[in-house]
Structure 1
């Protein structure tokens, strides 16, 4: 056999066993906007004749400059300016939209409060049907920041308990971790861009949180007052106090409680070390020294002085301002059909359905109320709207006896409702999809579009595309899109 023939055979095997994808991650936050291109290599698993592809390599190929998120005088996001920024970024990176195989558009922090935030979200997603498009609520952003910063990986490597603190432009996100697992999250309205200058250099951006802080200090929340560096320093110092109280778990005063965006962090575990991310962390770690027309630097300076009194070490997890989302890709393609249940073929296809995974093994005795509460808790942490298109996922274990199947079906309807406007997908690692689907539809009288898929592996932060029924052979293709973190 010639060398050319060997090369051709090797190339053919590579093409069948490997997927090479270009992905883009786009983060539109309260303070900054940026994007990142990455090359993702997926390879077919080599055991048990698996058809499943897994990520084996992820390499960042281009990072955009970091742009201050543009806001118009009426407080809405400047979609025109964003379009220009993304167009220029694609051009400078040497890519066209058609080159991108998959990606994610994420709006976070104060940006999601703007009246046209959802429109911005949809505009960029509409440019490519391959995009996952999500508006990250406060709890989901805590999770994204902990993963994207490298804090969860560091926690898994070092063990013990750690606290991750992501200080953005308008909000701060906390995540308590133990051995790489997030045990509790919380968010509050303190950030480095609560006060900011406009294009003319006037201090016209005064967010609600900054107004509350100014009021507590007896300062008029007006541009003329904010132009005084001494007044801004007082506000930054007060914000640093509020931050330090949250980090250390000290009792909150009235102002601290007023700025809470979620329930407080669970303080039952004591951190062995602390990590930071977000724009303010660039100053905390000493990577940035310039001002950008806001209070990020004085806030970081004041916080750093307070952190010097801590006995708990501060560790750099690796990613800071780019932590929230650093990439997304189509993770794998799987096929469900061994025991598929589908109410009507017209319900499919559907794209970008968020996944809520039960995240725990099934006990021998299944209690529908307990299972439903576990699903709701996972959905709550992800800021997932249970009335929207939804995929409830779990791993089936144990004997598929009728009482257990019925209990799981009842739990699913306690979460999703007896009738709903949008598709309900039940995705199972196991071969009981048809049985549970029939119980939900025929015995429990579910009114709505339902698809039960089995033999599919999912996890939290996944999104799925469910294709049309292929008959024959009576299967449904499922594309799983996972946010990928370093």
Structure 2
């Protein structure tokens, strides 16, 4: 019977309003029979610890408080009774308006490095939308019921929507709609601050915003209702005028989900909030959250889209980050020197299938020059598509073409090969032999990447049989 290896994984979500941490236990096992090539998979994922939900520490409106975030993480690890050395994988994700702070990228990378041996940095609203859809249970429900399900993760600064059909992601949409677009002195009608989405919405309504301005209860309720109607118009696939102003990136029209779940801090209130008629209750959190939640509850009731309650609301993104971001490579890998791992934020170049192997060499040299300023030590990961085939002569010729490119480029560090087909070990051996000067070779397989993706690769698990990987797109927005 194959052994089961257990590892700890962490998810850390640094959002516009709140920050939280979850610790999960992943179980890894060889699920193949003893007479075939190993197939090592994650067979179980269990959340074993959830932190309290903290207000995200900020230095001011433009910068994140790194020390405050670090203290939260260290304190929660202590409470969870796990050491940083025990955390083998996981992800830190920075979300919403916080991703626009001046020091967002540096804080994210610093936290990822202190949080464990292979805790990766992730950012970007479309990735956040996907992760939240996994964590909320929308993807699983879509797969189980063979239907189209949308998850709208409504946070402080943004709403990130993922749409799944039969469990597969078919669209992501993002908009500046959230509870902290306008901030109030808690329990009062006095405005303390606002961000872009709040200013755009107020202007759309003919309201002039400034700090210390007071807004009447009917005005706050109307802002919540108008934002809710804009969000539902996006879900309907027919965005209204305000939705078009608040949308980040491209809008996908004519999506028609049969069901919708709301997650995130405001999403949780959709299932809890009741009609209120006093200013203190509406502004008790110091923001638009309750008004927006009530607006969403009303707006969705008038739609044919059926409201579902998610498995997770406020923890959806952090559970998605900690439980669903990591996958395993194929089980036929080649790692000449495990000590060079882990790699983080390694860009990918995707080879164009061709019979002319000299073209492969020149393509690698040309594309690697674009990344030469980022890390002069390591070449981008080279993705070998299935279309090249897996005959011995073909992969041997391809290995020699890559070795020729390695001799020409300025980056003289490890070579990382991502094989879509199940040829990682064979390719790694052939490439190692084709090199005229020794250098580490990492060749892993059964992964699919595209040009522009980034990959993180951890140290080998399960007696060297697999490596944990995270494929992602890093996006930081300053708009």
TM-score by length of 1: 0.72
> Closer, same or farther in 2 for the Cα pair 1:198/1:79, shift >3 Å?
farther
| Aligned mates of 2:355, 2:313 — CA distance in 1 | 42
Which of 150, 156, 168 is matched with 2:155 structurally? 168
Q: Confirm whether residue 240 of structure 1 aligns to residue 228 of structure 2.
A: yes
Aligned to 2:368: none
> Closer, same or farther in 2 for the Cα pair 1:288/1:459, shift >3 Å?
farther
Aligned residues between the structures:
426
Which of 287, 309, 312 is matched with 1:316 structurally? 309
Structure 1 residue 26 displacement after superposition = 0.9
Aligned-CA RMSD value? 4.5
Q: Trace 1:267-306 onto structure 2 (pairs within 5 A).
A: 267=254, 269-286=255-272, 291-306=284-299
Q: Confirm whether residue 425 of structure 1 aligns to residue 411 of structure 2.
A: no
Which of 192, 199, 203 is matched with 1:211 structurally? 199
Aligned to 2:50: 63
1:282-341 per-position Cα deviation (integer Å, ceiling 9, x unaligned): 111227997422111100101211111112211123111111131248755766567x8x
Aligned to 2:10: 24
Question: SS state of the match for residue 458, structure 2?
Answer: strand
| Aligned mates of 2:216, 2:332 — CA distance in 1 | 63
Paired residues of 2:273 and 2:294 also in contact (CA < 8 A) = no
Structure 1 residue 48 displacement after superposition = 4.1
| Aligned mates of 2:216, 2:183 — CA distance in 1 | 13
Which of 120, 137, 140 is matched with 1:133 structurally? 120
| Aligned mates of 2:333, 2:76 — CA distance in 1 | 42
Structure 1 residue 107 displacement after superposition = 1.0
> Closer, same or farther in 2 for the Cα pair 1:28/1:231, shift >3 Å?
same
Structure 1 residue 223 displacement after superposition = 2.1
Structure 1 residue 126 displacement after superposition = 2.5
Aligned to 2:237: 249
| Aligned mates of 1:219, 1:83 — CA distance in 2 | 39
> Closer, same or farther in 2 for the Cα pair 1:149/1:422, shift >3 Å?
farther
1:408-454 per-position Cα deviation (integer Å, ceiling 9, x unaligned): 999xxxxxxx9889977331232278779999xx9xxxxxx995725
Aligned to 1:378: none
Which of 68, 73, 80 is matched with 1:81 structurally? 68
Q: Which moved more, 1:400-409 or 1:235-244?
A: 400-409
Which of 77, 86, 97 is matched with 1:90 structurally? 77
Question: SS state of the match for residue 425, structure 1?
Answer: strand
Paired residues of 1:425 and 1:452 also in contact (CA < 8 A) = yes
> Closer, same or farther in 2 for the Cα pair 1:160/1:333, shift >3 Å?
closer
Aligned to 1:379: none
TM-score by length of 2: 0.73
Paired residues of 1:142 and 1:166 also in contact (CA < 8 A) = yes
Question: SS state of the match for residue 458, structure 1?
Answer: coil
Unaligned runs of 5+ residues in structure 2 are 276-280, 357-373, 402-408, 472-479
| Aligned mates of 1:199, 1:82 — CA distance in 2 | 23
Question: SS state of the match for residue 264, structure 1?
Answer: coil
| Aligned mates of 1:149, 1:350 — CA distance in 2 | 30
Which of 424, 447, 450 is matched with 1:458 structurally? 447
Question: SS state of the match for residue 325, structure 1?
Answer: helix
> Closer, same or farther in 2 for the Cα pair 1:42/1:346, shift >3 Å?
closer
